[in-house]
C-alpha cells in the first residue's frame, strides 16, 4: 500500500498546573474501573454548612483544589465510588476556575446526588440515557442499576452539566446541550454519543466567528448575553442574535421529530437549517468580508458534500472508487491549540453486498487502502479563491 502523508498532527493532552495539582492531591484515589464497594450514608446538609461556603474571585490554585475536594468529601449522598469518579474529573473544573462561580460549584459538589433507574426512559420516542436537574442537583442514569452500568462519556456529560449555573432555567436548551457536548468531547477525550452531535456544528460555526471564549463563559454560567453581545458587535442588533438562538432551539425540537420519521418535520427542519446557515453567514461575512462558502472549515461544518468536492479540487485529487474520510475536529476548549482540522482520506474501497436469499443484509468492505492521505486544514490553506487578501483583521 502506498502512503502519501502530507502532514500528520496528533492531538496532545495539554496538562497544565491545575491538572498536576489535582493529580498530586488525589494521587491515592482510585481510578474509574477500580471501585471499592463502600456506601456513604446520605443525610440532609445543615444550613450552617452551606452558609460557611464563601465566594471570592481571587483564588490560589492550591486553595481551589482543597476547597473542591473538601466539598466533595463532605457530600453525604454519594458512594465512595461515585466520589472517586467525580474526583478524577475535578481537574476540569479547576482548569475553568476563572470562568466559574466557585461558591456555586462548592455547593453543587457538597449536595449533588446520583440515582439509577433500571427503566428505559423515552422522550418524544427517543431514548434518554441520563439527565441532570439543577433544581434538585441530581443526576439520574436510566437503564442502569449502578455505576458500573454507566458509560463514562455519559457520566462526564451529566457531571459537566452540573457546572452550568443557569441564568434562565430551561431556556436556550440548544446552547446548553451543544456547548456541553463539545466541552465533554474535548475534556473527556472521546465522542459524546448523543443526538446533539448531529447538529452541534452550528455552535462550532459561531465559535469560528466570535471565538471560544464566550462559549466557555456560557458553559460555566449559562447566560445568552455572552453570545448575543459578541454577535451584535459584528452585525445587527441583540434582538437579531436572540432570534438566531431561538431558531436553533426550534431546530433542536424539530430534529428530534425527524428521528421518528415525521416527514413534515423533515421538510421544516431542512428549511430552518437553510435559514440558520444564511443568518450565520451574515455574521461571518460582516466580520471577514467574504462568504463562508470560501472557507473550507466552515464548509466542513455545514455542507460536507461540498467540502469534500472542494477539498479534492484544492489538492488535485481525482480518484475512482469509493473514498472513506475520517477526521479529528478542531479543539476549542481543550486539547490541541493549533486550530487545525485533520482529514484522513483513504481508498478506494470496494463494497461487496451480502445476501440471504434475495435479501441484501449488509455491505462489506472488501479491498481497502490503495492509498492514504492526511490533510491538515488551518489558517494557511482554509480559504479558497484567493480571499486571504480580502480578509479583515
Check residue 302 and give its pLDDT.
96
Compute how many other C-beta atoms are within 10 angstroms of the C-beta atom of residue 119. 8
Contact 139, 130 (CB under 8 A): yes
**Alpha carbon distance, N-terminus to C-terminus of the chain:** 44
Q: How far is CA 278 from the centre of its chain?
A: 23
Q: Which of 355, 338, 363, 334 is nearest to 188 (CA)?
A: 334
Per-chain mean pLDDT for the chain: 80
Which residues, 6 or more positions from 347, have their beta carbon under 8 angstroms from its beta carbon? 319, 321, 322, 323, 324, 368, 369, 370, 371
Check residue 356 and give its pLDDT.
58
d(CA 218, CA 371): 43
State the Cα angle at 59 between 54 and 65, rounded to 5°. 90
* Tens-digit pLDDT profile for residues 341-388: 998 887 766 655 555 555 555 555 555 556 678 889 999 889 987 654
Check residue 335 and give its pLDDT.
77
d(CA 372, CA 51): 60
Helices (H) and strands (E) in the chain, counts: 15, 11
* Tens-digit pLDDT profile for residues 262-286: 889 999 999 999 999 999 999 999 9
> Rounded to a whole number, what is the largest CA-CA distance in the chain?
73
In this predicted structure, the answer to whether residue 3 has a pLDDT above a threshold of 50 is: no
Contact 224, 245 (CB under 8 A): yes
Q: Per-residue pLDDT averaged across 316-331, rounded?
A: 73
Contact 219, 96 (CB under 8 A): yes
Helix (H) or strand (E) holding 91: helix 90-95
C-alpha cell at position 158? 451529566
C-alpha cell at position 135? 433544581
* Tens-digit pLDDT profile for residues 37-93: 333 333 334 444 433 434 335 567 888 899 999 999 999 999 999 999 999 999 999
| Alpha-carbon Rg for the chain in angstroms | 23
**Coil, strand or helix at 126:** strand
* Tens-digit pLDDT profile for residues 306-323: 998 888 777 755 556 667
* Tens-digit pLDDT profile for residues 20-43: 434 333 433 333 333 323 333 333
Contact 142, 121 (CB under 8 A): yes
Which pTM value belongs to this model? 0.80
Q: Which of 271, 376, 278 is nearest to 10 (CA)?
A: 376
Amino acid at each position: 500500500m502506498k502512503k502519501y502523508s502530507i502532514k500528520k498532527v496528533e492531538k496532545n493532552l495539554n496538562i497544565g498546573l491545575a491538572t498536576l495539582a489535582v493529580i498530586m492531591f488525589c494521587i491515592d484515589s482510585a481510578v474509574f474501573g477500580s471501585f471499592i464497594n463502600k456506601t456513604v450514608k446520605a443525610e440532609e446538609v445543615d444550613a450552617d454548612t452551606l452558609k460557611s461556603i464563601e465566594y471570592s474571585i481571587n483564588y490560589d490554585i492550591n486553595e481551589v483544589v482543597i476547597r473542591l475536594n473538601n466539598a466533595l468529601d463532605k457530600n453525604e449522598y454519594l458512594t465512595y465510588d461515585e466520589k472517586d469518579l467525580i474526583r478524577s474529573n475535578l481537574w476540569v473544573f479547576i482548569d475553568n476556575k476563572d470562568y466559574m462561580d466557585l461558591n456555586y460549584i462548592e455547593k453543587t459538589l457538597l449536595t449533588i446526588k446520583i440515582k439509577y433507574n433500571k427503566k428505559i426512559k423515552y422522550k418524544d420516542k427517543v431514548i434518554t440515557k441520563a439527565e441532570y436537574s439543577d433544581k434538585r442537583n441530581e443526576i439520574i442514569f436510566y437503564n442502569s442499576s449502578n455505576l458500573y452500568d454507566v458509560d463514562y462519556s455519559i457520566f462526564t456529560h451529566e457531571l459537566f452539566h452540573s457546572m452550568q449555573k443557569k441564568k434562565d432555567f430551561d431556556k436556550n436548551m440548544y446552547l446548553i446541550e451543544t456547548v456541553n457536548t463539545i466541552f465533554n468531547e474535548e475534556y473527556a477525550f472521546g465522542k459524546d454519543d448523543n443526538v446533539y452531535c448531529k447538529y452541534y456544528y452550528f455552535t462550532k460555526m459561531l465559535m469560528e466567528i466570535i471565538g471560544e471564549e464566550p462559549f466557555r463563559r456560557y458553559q460555566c454560567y449559562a447566560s445568552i448575553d455572552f453570545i448575543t453581545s459578541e454577535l451584535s458587535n459584528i452585525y445587527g442588533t441583540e434582538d437579531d442574535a436572540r432570534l438566531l438562538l431561538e431558531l436553533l432551539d426550534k431546530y433542536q425540537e424539530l430534529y428530534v421529530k425527524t428521528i421518528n420519521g415525521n416527514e413534515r418535520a423533515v421538510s421544516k427542519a431542512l428549511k430552518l437549517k437553510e435559514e440558520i446557515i444564511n443568518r450565520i453567514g451574515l455574521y461571518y461575512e460582516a466580520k471577514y468580508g467574504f462568504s463562508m462558502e470560501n472557507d473550507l472549515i466552515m464548509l466542513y461544518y455545514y455542507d460536507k458534500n461540498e467540502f469534500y468536492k472542494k477539498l479534492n479540487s484544492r489538492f488535485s485529487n481525482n480518484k475512482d472508487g469509493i473514498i472513506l474520510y475520517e477526521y479529528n475536529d478542531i479543539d476549542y476548549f481543550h486539547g490541541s491549540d493549533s486550530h487545525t482540522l485533520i482529514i484522513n482520506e483513504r481508498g478506494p474501497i470496494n463494497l461487496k453486498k451480502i445476501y440471504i436469499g434475495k435479501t441484501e443484509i449488509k455491505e462489506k468492505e472488501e479491498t481497502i487502502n490503495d492509498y492514504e492521505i492526511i490533510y491538515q486544514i488551518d489558517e494557511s490553506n482554509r480559504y479558497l479563491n484567493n480571499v486571504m487578501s480580502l480578509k479583515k483583521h
